[in-house]
Every structure is written in C-alpha cells, then in structure tokens.
Amino acid sequence: MVEYIPYPKKPKTLPVILSRDEVKALLLAPRHLKHRVILATLYATGVRVSELCQLQGTDIDSQRMVIQVRQGKGQRDRLVMLSPDLLPLLRRYWKLYQLQSWLFPGHRVTEPITRDGVAHICKQAGHAAQIKKAVYPHLFRHYAACRIMPGNEQNTSNDAPYTLSYAA
C-alpha cells in the first residue's frame, strides 16, 4: 500500500514581459477613466490585486508621496511609493467620481471592486490593445518587483526582489 505519493513539481517559467509599446498601448486602451487608473496604479505601485481592491482615499498621502497598504499579504501594513505621474491621474479620477471611501468601488458604492473585476479589466485592456500575450493583474507586479520596467535599465540585478521585500 502506498502511503505517500508526492505531487509532481510545477515547472518554473519566466513571467510574461511586455515591450514598451505594448505597455503603453495597454495603459491607454481602456476607454473608462476608472479602468485606466486601475491599470496605472497596478503598474506604478506594484501592489497586489487584493491590496488594490482594498485601497481607500485616505490611504493616499500626497504630501509624503506614498500609499498606505493596509493588511496586505500576511496581514501586514506597508507603504508603497506614489509616482508623481500617477498622482494627477488619481486626483482627476477622485474629483470626477466624487468617491466616498473606496478608491475603486465595485457595483455597489459601499463595496470595493473584486479581484475578478480587476482581472476582467486587464483582460479587456489586453484585447483592446491587441496584445497576443496573456494580460493579468500580477503581470504589472513583475515590473515593479524586478525593476524591469521598459526603458529602465538602471537596476537589473538579481537581488532586486529581495531589496523590495517581494513575496509573490
């Protein structure tokens, strides 16, 4: 009788990497401002999808140029950098939608957007941008974590994920 059969190991593959033009097309593809801001926030901050969904307006500190992520992975609070290019877009979005609490509300204003909703937005944007590669929310996290953003060759070291305390 066999007591233990180990699961086969999953192959470790490299993440999908988009070219500079593909990233630009992807960020400009959504017609709705909310969808553009969601993609731009994922790209500029590198937050996890679940963290993005839980962001509130009070989490953005424009004085210190940081976004406070509350109860992220491992139930830890942390700060992420707020890009100077993202701030005007967030302000325009906030004023246009006159939001109460959630930065990205779902179908009901009292509830945040779901992870599936963000995934759907990414998929739609990839389709609209005519990108043949799979587009999913975690794709943007690879750029921020590894510092391999298109056009940014200043930090391509293998220890970049560790300096950012990256844990997928």
Domain span holding position 50:
20-163
Q: Is residue 13 part of a domain?
A: no
Exposure string over 38-59, b if 16+ CB within 10 A, otherwise e: bbbbbbbbbbbbbbbbbbeeeb
- State the CATH number of the domain containing residue 124: 1.10.443.10
Lookup: tokens for 31? 């017609």
Which run of H or E residues covers position 80?
strand 78-81
| Count of domains observed in the chain | 1
User: pLDDT tens, 43-71?
Assistant: 988 899 999 999 998 899 899 999 989 88
User: pLDDT tens, 109-128?
Assistant: 889 999 999 999 999 999 99
Q: Is residue 64 part of a domain?
A: yes
